[in-house]
């Protein structure tokens, strides 16, 4: 997670508080397995997640009091339904007395990550708010503590605070850092459809899964820097249901492979589909080809890279 201190705001008694800007990066799942349904109704998973350069831009300013939120997307609520707002409220409630925080915050979100696409855009915004407010008010809270706080907001938030190449287990909150994969280029195609994560989990049938990811093989491929082996063995068990209902997902996967992707997969519960390319030239060529496709109006398209 990147930030920069842009300016200083003066309050009473010569108090000075910085304005902080953040890049809230998206993630993709390089493989995803659902291992069991828990007694509490949640599911245990085993997944390898990777940060990519596609990001929202956040600016967090200190204000006199309260929480204000602005966003350039009409699809994003700007009140306490927004997870970034919830993150700010949680931070202030938990740390205002402890660290003598006397101000509120105004959060501006420039939304570039598509909403509800399986890319953890909302979770990344929330993670950025926690990190940014920690910097804004000079609290010095450790990453581990911020991750524990982030877990209260959602299972993906701790990962978004940490970032990089990570094995996530449990409900997605048990994180093991893996070696960073060599930089690869990603073409993202996001169908203009709505996929409910709740629906996918509620309809998940372990008996209908015919292929599961070999996570140990993928971890070995990552350790050896073997992107081809990694890309060719990516599996997301959620595709069993999402792709059956929405045929465009498999169409996009096949299209990306035909254009030179080393491997292609749906991210998370979808509907985002990505292809891994070994170099920027091939990724750019695939991106341009898909932009000219007769069906290109059915999906959003991005070219990015791992970070």
pLDDT tens for 242-281 read: 888 899 999 999 999 999 999 999 999 999 999 999 999 9
| pLDDT at residue 294, rounded to an integer | 73
Q: What is the pLDDT of residues 140-184, one digit of tens each?
A: 999 999 999 999 999 999 999 999 999 999 999 899 999 999 999
Domains of the chain: 2-25+54-159 (3.30.230.10), 185-305 (3.30.70.890)
Question: Which uninterrupted H or E stretch holds 125?
Answer: helix 121-136
Burial 266-279 (b: 16+ CB within 10 A, else e): bbbbbbbbbbbbbe
Confidence of residue 16 (pLDDT cuts 50, 70, 90): low
Read off the pLDDT of each residue in 208-218 and give the average, rounded to a whole number.
93
Spatial separation of the C-alpha atoms in residues 265 and 234, rounded to whole Å: 7
The proportion of the chain whose per-residue pLDDT surpasses 90, expressed as a percent, equals 81
User: Mean pLDDT highest for which of 196-200, 239-243, 265-269, 291-295?
Assistant: 265-269
- As annotated, the active-site residues are 27, 156
Higher-confidence residue of 202 and 14: namely 202
Residue 211 burial class via C-beta count within 10 angstroms: exposed 0-12, middle 13-18, buried 19 and up: exposed
More confident residue, 20 or 199: 20
pLDDT band at 17 (very low <50, low <70, confident <90, very high): low
Q: What are phi and psi of 5, to 5 degrees?
A: -85, 120
Euclidean distance between CA atoms 87 and 24, whole angstroms? 14
Burial of 125 (0-12, 13-18, 19+ CB in 10 A): buried
Which helix (H) or strand (E) element contains residue 299? strand 299-305
- On the question of pLDDT at 133 being above 50, the answer is yes
Going 111 to 115 to 120 to 122, the CA torsion angle's sign is: positive
Cα 33 to Cα 204: distance, rounded to the nearest angstrom: 11
18 pLDDT band (50/70/90 cuts)?
Answer: confident
For residues 188-202, average pLDDT: 88
Largest CA distance in the chain: 66
CB 183 within 8 A of CB 306: yes
Let me know the angle formed at the C-alpha of 148 by 169 and 197, rounded to the nearest 5 degrees.
Answer: 50
Name the one residue in this structure whose structure tokens are 């791992």: 306
At residue 194, the pLDDT reads 86
Task: Return the SS3 of 87.
Answer: helix
What local confidence, expressed as pLDDT, does residue 204 receive?
85
Name which residue leads in pLDDT, 209 or 146.
146
**Kind plus residue range of the DSSP H or E element containing 70:** strand 67-71
Residue 195 has pLDDT above 50, yes or no: yes
pLDDT of 14 strictly over 70: no
């Amino acid at each position: 997670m990147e930030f920069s201190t842009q300016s200083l705001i003066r309050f009473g008694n010569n108090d000075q508080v910085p304005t902080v800007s953040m890049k809230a990066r998206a993630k993709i799942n390089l493989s995803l397995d659902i291992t069991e349904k828990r007694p509490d109704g949640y599911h245990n998973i085993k997944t390898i997640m990777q940060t990519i350069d596609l990001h929202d831009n956040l600016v967090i300013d200190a204000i006199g009091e309260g929480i204000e939120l602005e966003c350039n997307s009409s699809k994003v609520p700007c009140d306490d339904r927004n997870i970034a707002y919830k993150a700010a409220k949680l931070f202030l409630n938990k740390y205002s007395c402890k660290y003598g925080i006397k101000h509120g915050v105004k959060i501006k979100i420039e939304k570039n990550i598509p909403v509800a696409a399986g890319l953890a855009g909302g979770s990344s915004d929330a993670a950025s708010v926690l990190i940014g407010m920690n910097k804004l008010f000079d609290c010095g809270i450790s990453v581990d503590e911020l991750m524990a706080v982030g877990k209260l907001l959602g299972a993906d938030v701790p990962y978004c605070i940490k970032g990089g190449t990570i094995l996530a287990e449990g409900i997605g909150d048990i994180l093991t850092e893996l070696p960073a994969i060599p930089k690869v280029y990603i073409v993202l195609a996001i169908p203009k459809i709505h996929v409910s994560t709740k629906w996918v989990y509620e309809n998940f049938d372990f008996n209908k899964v015919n292929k599961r990811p070999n996570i140990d093989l993928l971890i070995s491929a990552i350790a050896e820097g073997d992107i081809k082996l990694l890309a060719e063995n990516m599996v997301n068990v959620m595709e069993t249901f999402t792709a059956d209902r929405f045929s465009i997902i498999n169409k996009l996967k096949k299209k990306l492979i035909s254009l030179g992707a080393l491997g292609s997969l749906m991210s998370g519960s979808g509907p985002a589909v990505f292809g891994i390319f070994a170099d920027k030239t091939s990724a750019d060529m695939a991106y341009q080809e898909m932009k000219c496709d007769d069906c290109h109006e059915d999906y959003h398209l991005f070219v990015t890279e791992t970070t």
